[in-house]
Amino acid sequence: MDFSQFNGAEQAHMSKVIEKKQMQDFMKLYSGLVERCFNACAQDFTTKALTTNESTCVQNCTDKFLKHSERVGARFAEHNAEQMQGGK
């Protein structure tokens, strides 16, 4: 984003607002991942430790989520690049 039309204080404020929003988005994403994988994988509440099956499930769940996020990010970048080229 181009904040060159703002003075220094306004630029700093906008940067902080964007940083805060990015952190909120990350925490929302992380919380969703934790909830999704917990609900899918946590089965045995008789012990503090995860069972082998639960550990495998959590690993697969997080791997799938991260791969999906990477794929969506790549598609978004491709779409954004196409939009930028089409707009010129």
Provide the sign of the torsion angle of the four alpha carbons 22, 26, 31, 33, taken in this order. Answer: positive
Please indicate whether residue 1 or residue 50 has the higher confidence score (pLDDT).
50
- Residue 25 has a pLDDT of 93
Domain ranges of the chain: 8-87
pLDDT band at 1 (very low <50, low <70, confident <90, very high): low
Asked: is 8-87 a CATH 3.40.50.2000 domain? The reply is no
The pTM is what? 0.68
55: pLDDT strictly greater than 90: yes
- Look at residue 10 and tell me whether its pLDDT is greater than 60: yes
